[in-house]
Structure 1
Amino acid sequence: MWTSLISAAVLGTCIITLFLLERAFPLRQAKRALAGRLTVNLTFGIIAFATVSLIVRPVAEATLGWTSTNEFGLIRLHMIPDALRPVAAFLLMDLTFYWWHRANHRLPLLWRLHNVHHFDPDLDLSTTFRFHFGELAFSSAFRVVQIGLIGPSLATYLVYEVIFQLGTLFHHSNLRLPIRVERILVRFLVTPRMHGIHHSQVKEETNANYSTVFSFWDRLHRTVRLNVPQEAINIGIPGYAEPQDNRLGNSLLAPFRLQRDYWPREDGHGSRRTNATGKPGQLAP
């Protein structure tokens, strides 16, 4: 109980702080009114919280109980020293989330659900809560595989969950950090500028920067792209860029309808990047 209360207090403080900071120091200019987007995204968040509480969390906790009782999981291999097992489990949790995120972009069934997160026309803290309940329900199956194969301790699992949530809030925020600071942070962590590129309307940029906490997974998998100026990024999905696409009912029903071509603009051509700067691995302002 105390763990849950402390986690909620930490996350709540982070949400309030980031919300105020991104209002004071915005990274990108908003295209749509905040009030309307907040209504949609926070409603998604309420439904997401219910889905996680009723499905995802019980499945994760049951899998944790099974791996603990049966002493099952990669981190229990004798070749891993006891002192390094929490570190190994933490890294494997983050690596597998990289793979899960990438799968959500590559597999058509998962993408039609995850796409709802991406066709938010702006990217800020509220976008953190905009995940379709179908995507979260499917993620419970991933959790069984992830936790079952890794076998983290309850303590490691809880620590990772809190840091995962903090990282997700941070990199979805529209907070403008000094570029020198962010260039240092992005060597290790996913930052707002890095994740902003991931929400670009350019297909090749959306299919990059999949990491959640540690940014080096994208470098290891050669999916990193950092050299796009933030003012050159148009957030969203071209095929779902009309105002009515982001109304609550249409957003919730979108995965269950015939899918449009995601990437063409109004002129019928896909968005392309012509104004990248420097090397792909160097963060642009």
Structure 2
Amino acid sequence: MNLLVYTPLAIFALFVLLFAIEKWFPLRASRTGLLSRLFVNGVLSGLVFVVAMLVVRPSSLSALDWSSAQHFGLLHLLRLPVWAEFIVGFLLLDLSFYYWHLLNHKIPLLWRFHNVHHIDPALDVSTGFRFHFGEVFLSTLFRVAQVIIIGPALGMFLLYELVFQAGTLFHHSNLRLPIRLERWLNKLIVTPRMHGIHHSQVRPETNSNYGVVFPWWDRLHRTLGLNIPQSKIEIGVPGYSSPDDNTLWRTMIMPFIKQRDYWSKPDGSRTSRDPAALEKKKNYLAE
């Protein structure tokens, strides 16, 4: 149960560390004001934290208690050794988040809310906390179903939560790692360059790289795209690229008002990618 207390503190410490380091070693040049972004992202993050603590976490823990008491869930049925149960459960939790992320892009109602995360005009560690509170609220049903279907032990669940949050901050960060190191890391975990492609304004690139902790699910489902150099990536959503779209008020009401064409710029053009700008190997991480 100590993880319940220490996880928020550990995540905040990681945020501060990454925030400092990414300013010294930036992966992409910022094209927008930092303070205005931090204000919007900070308020959105605060609302997310409130909803998570008051709704999502209690609901997940209640479902976890029920699953444990009833011996319900896949892991209870498999009756694996403790070490094998931990590995399988950890992988299933991460795989389920891959599917949840995919659904947030494919289902129009969910995308209305998830779009608020993607319209951030820059990508850094603060984007890892920037979500609409409505998206987090809607995720409650998924989180309850996730726990009931998989049936993880409490310790495994809480440890995955810690790794999940840490991974989210890390791969959203604007941290430039040596390319050889990142290519090696990317065989094991989702990294900043990999996830930066997911935040591209080019639609096929946005519809790739859905993994949270492990990159293997994208390889398995053929949604992996690594061959776009970071210098060629424009962050955001074309239809919501105006500074007016990123005010606090607009981000709050955006899911509830009429939606524009997400992938057309105000002048009607669409962001595309010249194939000549891509690295030859699609599944080889570009610098």
Offset of 1:118 from its aligned partner?
0.1
> What is the match of residue 131 of structure 1?
131
Alignment of 1:88-103 (within 5 A): 88-103=88-103
Q: Which moved more, 1:241-250 or 1:4-13?
A: 4-13
TM-score between both structures, scaled by the size of structure 1: 0.98
The letter for the 2-side match of 1:52 is A
Residue pairs, 1:132-281, within 5 angstroms: 132-274=132-274, 275-281=277-283
In structure 2, the CA distance between the partners of 1:77 and 1:251, relative to structure 1 (3 Å rule), is: same
Amino acid at match of 1:132: H
Q: List alignment gaps of at least 5 residues for structure 2.
A: none
Listed one character per residue, the Cα deviations across residues 208-240 of structure 1 (whole Å, up to 9, x for unaligned) are: 000000011100000000000001000000000
Note if contact 2:3-2:159 (Cα within 8 Å) is conserved in structure 1.
no
**Is the 8 Å Cα contact of residues 201 and 271 (structure 1) preserved in structure 2?**
yes
Task: Quote how far apart the aligned CAs of 1:40 are.
Answer: 0.2
Aligned pairs, how many? 285
Write the deviation string for residues 137-173 of structure 1: whole angstroms up to 9, x where unpaired. 1100001111100000000000000000000000000
The percentage of counterpart residues that share the same residue type is: 51
1:116 counterpart residue number: 116
Structure 1 counterpart of 2:237, one-letter code:
I
Q: Equivalents in 2 of 1:5, 1:77: separation in Å?
A: 30
**Normalization by structure 2: what TM-score?**
0.97
Q: Structure 1: how far apart are the matches of 2:202 and 2:39?
A: 27
Contact (CA 8 Å) 2:209, 2:218: kept in 1 or not? Answer: yes
Q: Which runs of 5+ in 1 are unaligned?
A: none
CA distance in 1, matches of 2:74, 2:2: 29
Q: Which string of whole-angstrom CA distances, capped at 9 and with x for unpartnered residues, describes residues 227-272 of structure 1? A: 0000100000000000000000001100000000000124423211
What's the CA shift for 1:24?
0.2
Name the CA distance, whole Å, in 1 between partners of 2:5 and 2:143: 23
**Over residues 68-116 of structure 1, what are the superposed CA-to-partner deviations in whole Å (9 max), with x where a residue is unaligned?**
0000110112463343111111000000000000000000000010000
Counterpart amino acid of 2:185?
Answer: L
Q: 1:7 deviation in Å?
A: 2.0
Partner of 1:26: 26
When the two chains are superposed, the root-mean-square deviation of aligned CA atoms in Å is: 1.1
SS in structure 2 at match of 1:12: helix
Shift of residue 196, structure 1, vs aligned partner: 0.3
* Maintained 8 Å contact 1:76/1:85: no
Q: Distance in 2 between matches of 1:266 and 1:6?
A: 45
